[in-house]
Amino acid sequence: MQELSDIALLQRLQDADEAAYTEIFHRYWEKLYAIAYNRLRIRFAAEDVVQEVLASLWVRRHELEIQHLSHYLATATRYAVFRQLSRLLPDQSLDVAEAEKLLVADPDTSHLDFLLLQERLGTEIDQLPEKCRLVFLYSRREQFTNKEIAATLRLSEKTVEAHLTKALKHLRGRLKDLYPLLPFFF
C-alpha cells in the first residue's frame, strides 16, 4: 500500500479498511512523534499524544472531512499536545486562544518560546527535591489526588500540600523570565 496516495488511503479508511489505517500509522507515526516530542520533551507523553491522534483518526473516520492528511495529523498533534499539557498541569488556567496561537497558528514555524518553556519546565522539575518532585509528578502527570499521593508516599495530606505549594512556588520563581508564557501554565 506504500504506493497509495493519502487521498486513496483516506477513502479506504472511511470504508473501515484496516490495512489503510495501518499504512497511515506507519507512514506518519515518526513525524507525529517528532512534533509531539519537540514540544513536550517527555518520551511517554509524546507517545501518548501520537496514540491519541491516530486512535481518534480511526474512531472518527466516518465523520472527518480531511483534505490534506499530513496537515490534518500535524494540527491534530499540536492540539493533542495542548490537551496533554492540561493533563500534566490540570489545575492550571490554560488560555485556549493563546494555546492556539502557540500550537497551531503557523504549523510550519517552530514555536521557540513554547519549546524553551517546555525544556525549562522539565529541567526545573528535575531540580526539585526528590519528595517534592515525586509529589508534583504524581499530582500533575498521574493525576493522583492529594489523598492518593499521601497513601502512596506514606506522607500526611498536609505534607503533600506543602510539597505541591513548594514545587509551584519554585517553578513560578525559576520560570518568571518567561513571563509572557507563564500565565499559560500557572
Q: Number of structural domains, the chain? A: 2
Q: Among 29, 58, 88, identify where a domain stops.
A: 88
Residues 62 and 21 in one domain: yes
Q: Hey, what amino acid is at 116?
A: L
Asked if residue 95 is part of any domain, the answer here is no
Residues 114 and 61 in one domain: no
**CA–CA separation, 20 and 5 (whole Å):** 11
Asked if residue 94 is part of any domain, the answer here is no
Residues 130 and 183 in one domain: yes
The 3 state secondary structure assigned to the chain is CCCCCHHHHHHHHHCCCHHHHHHHHHHHHHHHHHHHHHHHCCHHHHHHHHHHHHHHHHHCCCCCCCCCHHHHHHHHHHHHHHHHHHHHCCCCCCCHHHHHHHHCCCCCCCCHHHHHHHHHHHHHHHHCCHHHHHHHHHHHCCCCCHHHHHHHHCCCHHHHHHHHHHHHHHHHHHCHHHCCCHHHHC
**CA–CA separation, 46 and 150 (whole Å):** 28
**CA–CA separation, 164 and 155 (whole Å):** 13
Asked if residue 97 is part of any domain, the answer here is no
Cell of 93: 488556567
**CA–CA separation, 101 and 90 (whole Å):** 20
Res 132: pLDDT? 94
Asked if residue 114 is part of any domain, the answer here is yes
Residues 75 and 112 in one domain: no
Average pLDDT of the chain, as a whole number? 80
Residues 82 and 125 in one domain: no
Q: Cell 507563564, residue?
A: 182
Residue-wise pLDDT tens digits, 45-101:
889 899 999 999 999 998 888 888 988 899 889 888 887 877 766 555 555 455 555
Asked if residue 98 is part of any domain, the answer here is no
Res 8: pLDDT? 92
Asked if residue 115 is part of any domain, the answer here is yes
Give the domain extent around 52: 1-88
Asked if residue 74 is part of any domain, the answer here is yes
Residues 66 and 31 in one domain: yes
Q: What is the CATH number of the domain that holds 84?
A: 1.10.1740.10
**CA–CA separation, 78 and 32 (whole Å):** 9
Asked if residue 59 is part of any domain, the answer here is yes
Residue 154 backbone class (left: φ over 0; alpha: ψ -120 to 50; beta: rest): left
Res 106: pLDDT? 45
Residues 5 and 81 in one domain: yes
Residues 70 and 121 in one domain: no
Res 86: pLDDT? 72
Residue-wise pLDDT tens digits, 122-145:
888 889 999 999 999 888 877 889
Q: What is the CATH number of the domain that holds 151?
A: 1.10.10.10
